[in-house]
Chain A
Amino acid sequence: MSACAFEAWCLPGGVDPPGLAEPSEGGESSFRLLAIDPDWLDGLIDALANAREGLRGLGAAQLAKVLGQAGSRFMDDDDPLRQEALDRLPATSGLSAEMCRTVLDGMAANWSEGRLTTLLVDELGGPQPLDGFVDQGGPQTMAVGARLCVQIASGSVPGVGVDALIRSLLTKAPTLLKPGLGDVVLPVLFARALKEVDPSVAAGLAVVYWPGGDGALERTALTRADLVTIYGSDETVRGLRALAPVTARLVVYHHRTSVGVVGRAALAARVAGATASDIANAVALFDQRGCVSPQVIWVEEGGEVTPSAFAAELAKALEAAEGALPGGRLTKEEASAVQQLRGTAELMAASGAGVDLHHGGVASWTVVLDPGGGLEASCIGRVVRVVPIASASDLPGHLAPYAPHLQTVGVAGLGDRLGALAEKLASVGVTRIAPFSAVPFPTASWHHDGGGPLRDLLRWVDLEGGS
């Protein structure tokens, strides 16, 4: 553990941290960790619960302002907080420094007062339903946030933890966030910023990382929650779901797969390069760890640029992206998966299956032209399969096997066919359809995995017969 190891927690004022955990072998040496036991965690949760009245005493617009003040610090180049974030992120997230800057810019753009105010309007028509009963045509209604929101996040993309805690605080819910290992820095720094801006709001927030283990701490935390937000693999979600009280509301973001489709209009010779560039950017962002990161691109046949030639364009664009946004570290296991796919694609190419392979050598980017569509696509890195398709309207049929995990479909060159296709995609299970250029960074108000970012966190109360 180095002297400059990062403290992987930020507690509300008045809560004493327990002692430090013994440094463990392995990947956590960038951090100092707390030696947490269930009793201490119970005490922390008591403190958070006590902060609820303070949060409820504030107007939602005021909360948006306070949270926005903390969030905006991450966009200010002169702010030491942003500097520290940029210094810490590469080592702790595994992403390159250039990528960390781009990711922080993209994520923190949604943390300003302006964006949060827009979020309140998009979701609730404004802050009023959070502050009291409002007339909405029928009975009067009020939106009430949780008594305690416990969030277990995944760490694959830095900034997701901050998104999560901002939303629950905006609903006036005291929040305990356990970030994922790769996303510890931003939530902790955000919580520190919040303490400086407004300690009374920060009294309702604790960010604390602990290594996954026997589940005792998770059980302690989840037992107290009436709202649980989980980000993670299907396996993680399955385990945590079982620990949550039956009465708690669960908001779950399990494993997701995103894909794309390119219509003939985007395959005209003069635009195909730009199309490929947008896709390469969407693939490269987050080194493909994002749930929005496309894994498979279906390319229409019959365009000026063939699917095979488009795969070569995409390879060129990924090579260029490697210059602007260098890839980060892959684990041995991730690198192994890339090697397996490349070797298999090479053999399939040699077998005459019509497969073609482009890759970046030690850079992880890999493009496989896969006419049979049989290769699996679950590589992390920058690995994308290009599958020819007769018509974009055939896409929904191809997506059926992915249905339970589908999220975003990136699109280009569909023109007026988009509307009809989008309806079919919606029916298959897709929750977001967006131009490739917009794929990496959804707006603050997006229906992440099909739910309302605030509405999913709220309990609606009806007042009938009121004046």
Chain B
Amino acid sequence: MSEESCDDFVKGAPTGNAHFERLATDLEARLAAGFEQPWIEGDFGRLALAAFAYQYEHNPTYRRFCDGRHATPGTVASWRTVPAVPTTAFKHLDLISAEGDGADLVFLTSGTTRGGASHGRHLVPRPSLYRAALLSNFRRHVVPDVDAPPLLSLVPSPDQAPDSSLSYMVGAVADEIASDAEWLVSGDGAIDLARLQEVWRDVISAGDPVLLIGTAFAFMHVMDAVSPGSLEPLPDRSRIMETGGFKGRAREISRGDFYERLSSATGVPTRRIVNEYGMTELLSQLYEETISAGADPGSGHVPPPWLAVHVLDPTTLEPVDDGHQGLLAFFDLANLGSICHVLTEDVGMVRDGKLHLSGRHPGAEPRGCSRAMDELMVDRVGQ
């Protein structure tokens, strides 16, 4: 958090910040070029250290935090040794590294603690950087082979859920990638089943491949609510992006069973269901390569070149070897406006360049926008 309060940022005091603008503009161009312009050895490391130097200089709280760990731009030689902030810190501090431009977006994490609701928030001073990061990655892993598919979204629209980074992301996809978008879930978690069935018929008669996006929980709801076989198979080359999980929910099914059920309900083969892994605290996402590389579902997530992951021993925070489980930490260049290096509560391992998640651990709070929406649905169902 810089010295000003968050509210000052939200209001904005556009005095400009040349350092941020220069870095962000360069980075945004790299991200927007996406996977067309290859990242060569050293690109990430160089940009990561530049981002650290910027954040160290412009975020006084983070600077003192780093000083306390004797890690400064002068002493740190690798992104791996840049001090990481824990995801929990987003609940207590506004970790913004920008001066004067204001936070154009504020995303809330979900979460309920013993003491009651407790939201973290991620302030995003430059939404265009987030858009560049999410769009090129989404194109590569979800729609590399179709142009402008119609979007059916089981995630609320950004208008309905302005605090949700997931809604923002799907909104960007609707704006920039999809031919048109149908928002089938309201901000309070209600699914419009009648409308779903109507547009389902429409897209089938149009015959173009469809892009269907939702949380795993929302898909379960839809499948529970419609009678089996009542939805005709979606057109050929349709695809599904699903995110979130069931851990800790009242009902849990295995990933394999869920995909089978989802596939048979929608007619989309499991090979065209893509799992996205992301969190509000990170502006970049990881995807499984089911569509982009013909990988099996469950065979691991890949980060884009501007996001690095490493696995740390939970007790010492020292790196563990590939193939061993530990806590996941991410260095996300798209987080230039907040803090790039984030220590999560998630457990997993890296093997052959892919991230294998062990599921959000049972003690961790539900978190992430998909869970926030899930909670609303649970509340509604309980009524």
Contact = CB atoms under 8 A, between A and B. Distances in A.
Interface of A: 257, 330, 332-337, 339-344, 346-352, 362, 374-376, 378, 401-402, 405
B116 interface: yes
A interface SS class: helix
Nearest to A343: B86
Given A332-B326, A334-B363, A340-B345, A351 B314 contact: no
A350 B315 contact: no
Given A341-B88, A347-B92, 15 more contacts: A332-B326, A333-B364, A335-B315, A336-B361, A343-B89, A344-B88, A346-B69, A348-B93, A349-B68, A350-B63, A350-B64, A351-B1, A351-B93, A402-B114, A405-B114
A109 B206 CA distance: 78
Contacts of B114: 257, 376, 378, 402, 405
Contacts of B316: 362
B92 A344 contact: yes
A360 to B, nearest CB: 11
19 contacts: A330-B314, A332-B325, A332-B361, A333-B345, A333-B347, A333-B362, A333-B363, A333-B364, A336-B314, A337-B363, A340-B87, A347-B65, A347-B85, A347-B86, A347-B89, A347-B95, A351-B61, A376-B114, A402-B114
Among all A-B residue pairs, the 4 with the closest Cβ atoms? A335-B314, A350-B64, A343-B86, A340-B88
B115 interface: yes
B263 interface: no
B113 interface: yes
B115 A346 contact: no
B129 interface: no
Interface string B56-95: 0000011111001100000000000000111111011101
B327 A336 contact: yes
A382 to B, nearest CB: 13
A343 B62 contact: no
Nearest to A363: B315
B343 interface: yes
B16 to A, nearest CB: 25
> In the complex, which of the residues B1, B88, B364 has the most CB atoms of chain A within 10 Å of its own CB atom?
B88
B61 A350 contact: yes
A350 B343 contact: no
B255 to A, nearest CB: 18
Contacts of B86: 339-340, 342-344, 347
Interface string B334-349: 0000000001010100
> In the complex, which of the residues A257, A332, A349 has the most CB atoms of chain B within 10 Å of its own CB atom?
A332
B118 interface: yes
Contacts of B62: 347, 350
Contacts of B363: 333-334, 336-337
Interface in B321-368: 325-327, 343, 345, 347, 361-364
B88 to A, nearest CB: 4
Contact of A350 (B65, B91, B314): B65
B343 A348 contact: no
B64 to A, nearest CB: 4
Interface string B1-40: 1000000000000000000000000000000000000000
